[in-house]
Amino acid sequence: MKKIMKSFVFAVLGAMMMVILYGCGSQTRGWEDNGQQLKKGDLIGISMPTKADQRWNMDGNNLVKKLEEQGFKTKLAYANNSPSQQSTDINNLVSAGAKAVVVASVDGTAVGPAVKQAKDNGATVIAYDRLIMNTESVDFYVTFELERTGILEAQTIIDRLDLKNGGGKDTPYNIALFAGSDDDNNAPYFFKGAWDLLQPYFESGQLVDPSGIVTKDFTTKDWKKISVHAWDQSQAQKQMDAIMTKLGDKPLAAVLSPYDAISLGAMKSIKNARPEMSPSIPFDSKNPTNASAWPIITGQDGMDIAITNIYHGAQAQTVFKDTSLLSDQTRDLLVDILEGKTPKSDKKPMNNGKKDVPTWLMNSDELVKNPKGEQKGLHYVVEVGFITEDQYQKDIKAPIIK
Ligand code: BGC
């Protein structure tokens, strides 16, 4: 009898242990509970937003190359800028056996359920360039210094319009302002970087927005009033058309654009509305009433069209992100996990509304035709291997505002 009791007690204890162990396992499932969870030969899923934009093609190719060099297998999917396509892509990557997914989201919030499913299946989730919002199911975030984009853009405008020395004091300078896509968590940071520097010139009356939307009382929180959904060039062109109508025949001093394709949309609109305006006559604060002058236009990404437009004076600068830095960081992080280490960043984590996500921040560069100080010349894109010399030659020979 004693023996039977003893076996019964052991059986009950054993069952309890199993329940406890299983419970813990399912709660902490992910890279934390087992540093060796990734091994050589594991599949890493890569989900990029769109093939239509030069930079995401570079990002995707770099990731494939660098992860395969480490012995991982990879699968790369492009979502055609569709949030539902991206969820399908992530589900497919996980079904194909991905042990980690690297996601540059189309819509940072909409992608939440898909990454939760990935995480529930034991995959590590890395938010790439754009933070994935309002979910616990994101382990790491790699991106570039976000506000820096807007800071560099605004500094060029301030400098070229001579605002510090009173440019616009007599007759206010007209400026058109754009922010990035309303579903991209990066966009308000880009705008904040610029607005913190430009707002004082709205306050002093040196800058005005002809559309009347942006005034001195505008705040960073209002950014969606000037956002361009999906970073779309033709949408930007439409928004610029409305601004040009309000501007009438007055001079236009500057366009704050957070992305090279938005800049191009704005240029096309300017050309249609005011054919007399020409990049060969850049806006000059010494002759601010010249209504044929071409505005100071900013951008981001160092796209081929930007190289062309900057070379010929149609665009003033672009904020260039060397995407190989981001793919190197992503690789390093996955290799840490492979080696059983916990990836550690010395930067402040970013909060996504649900958790503080460990974050890595890369540095971007400003490209201009005639660099000063820290700025870089256009050829820098060749020097860092972003494009080939051949492509660069094609870019600088191509016609502007295509
Ligand atoms: C990226 C930018 C890019 C933009 C449009 C942002 O999330 O950070 O580099 O210009 O998306 O693709």
pLDDT in tens, 132-179: 999 999 999 999 999 999 999 999 999 999 999 999 999 999 999 999
Q: Evaluate the CA torsion angle 42, 33, 352, 258 in order and state its sign.
A: negative
Report which ligand 1 atom has the smallest distance to the Cα of 49: 12
The Cα 338–Cα 180 span in angstroms is 36
Give the strand pairing for 359-362 and 140-144. Answer: parallel
Ligand 1 centroid from CA 130, angstroms: 8
Q: Which atom of ligand 1 is nearest to the CA of 300?
A: 10
Measure 187 CA to ligand 1 centroid, in angstroms: 8
Burial 380-396 (b: 16+ CB within 10 A, else e): bbbeeebbeeeebeebe
Query: Is ligand 1 within 6 A of the CB of residue 129?
Result: yes
pLDDT for residue 116 is more than 90: yes
User: In the prediction, which pLDDT does 22 show?
Assistant: 40
Percent of the chain past pLDDT 90, that is, above it, reads 90
C-alpha radius of gyration, the chain, whole number: 25
Is the CB–ligand 1 distance for residue 320 below 6 Å? Answer: no
Distance 63 CA to ligand 1 centre (A): 17
Tell me, using a 6 A CB cutoff, whether residue 190 lines ligand 1: no
The stretches of 99-219 forming alpha helices (DSSP H) are 112-120, 146-160, 186-203
Give the tens place of pLDDT for each residue, 63-111: 999 999 999 999 999 999 999 999 999 999 999 999 999 999 999 999 9
Whole-number Cα distances in Å, 192 to 91, 201, 361 = 34, 15, 17
- Check pocket membership of 321 for ligand 1, CB cut-off 6 A: yes
**Residue nearest atom 6 of ligand 1, based on CA coordinates:** 186
Nearest-angstrom CA–CA distance, 326 and 67: 12
- pLDDT at residue 4 tops 80: no
Residues 262-309 have pLDDT tens digits of: 999 999 999 999 999 999 999 999 999 999 999 999 999 999 999 999
Spatial separation of the C-alpha atoms in residues 106 and 51, rounded to whole Å: 12
Q: In what order do the strands lie in the sheet with 73-78?
A: 73-78, 43-48, 100-103, 124-128, 140-144, 359-362
Could you tell me the pLDDT band of residue 3, with boundaries at 50, 70 and 90? low
Q: Tell me the percentage of the chain whose pLDDT exceeds 70.
A: 91
Ligand 1 centroid – CA 3 distance (Å): 70
Q: What's the CA-to-centroid distance between 132 and ligand 1, angstroms?
A: 14
Instruction: Confirm whether pTM is higher than 0.85.
Output: yes
**pLDDT at position 334, please?**
97
With a 6 Å cutoff on the Cβ, whether 331 touches ligand 1 is no
Instruction: In whole angstroms, give the CA distance from residue 371 to residue 390.
Output: 22
- Candidate from 78, 129, 366 with most ligand 1 atoms within 8 A of CB, to mutate: 129
Q: What is the CA(104)–ligand 1 centre distance, in A?
A: 10
Give residue 18's pLDDT: 46
- Ligand 1, residues 152, 300, 326: which to mutate, most atoms within 8 A of Cβ? 300
Return the closest-CA partner of residue 231 out of 179, 281, 308: 179
- For the segment 388-402, the average pLDDT, to the nearest whole number, is 94
Binding site membership of 231 for ligand 1 (Cβ less than 6 Å) = yes
Find the mean pLDDT for residues 313-321: 98
For residue 113, pLDDT over 80 is answered with yes
Give the pLDDT confidence score for residue 26 in this predicted structure. Answer: 38
List, in sequence order, the alpha helices (H) in 161-253. Answer: 186-203, 233-247
Q: What pLDDT does 402 receive?
A: 72
Pocket of ligand 1 contains residue 53 by CB under 6 Å: yes
- Compute the CA torsion angle 149, 151, 156, 162 (nearest 10 deg): 160
- Ligand 1 atom closest to the Cα of residue 56 is 12
Whether ligand 1 lies within 6 angstroms of the CB of 232 is answered as no
Q: How far is the CA of 166 from the centre of ligand 1 (A)?
A: 33
Model pLDDT for residues 320-370, shown as the tens digit of each residue: 999 999 999 999 999 999 999 999 999 999 999 999 999 999 999 999 999
pLDDT at 259 over 80: yes
Nearest residue (by CA) to ligand 1, atom 9, is 301
| Closest ligand 1 atom to 184 CA | 7
Pairing of strands 350-351, 356-357: antiparallel
Which ligand 1 atom is the nearest neighbour of the CA of 144? Answer: 8
Mean pLDDT rounded to a whole number for the chain? 93
Distance (angstroms) between ligand 1 centre and the Cα of 217 equals 27
Residue 32: pLDDT over 70: no
- Cβ of 202 below 6 Å from ligand 1: no
DSSP-assigned letters across all residues of 301-350:
S--HHHHHHHHTTS---EEE--HHHHHHHHHHHHHHHHTTPPP--SSPPE
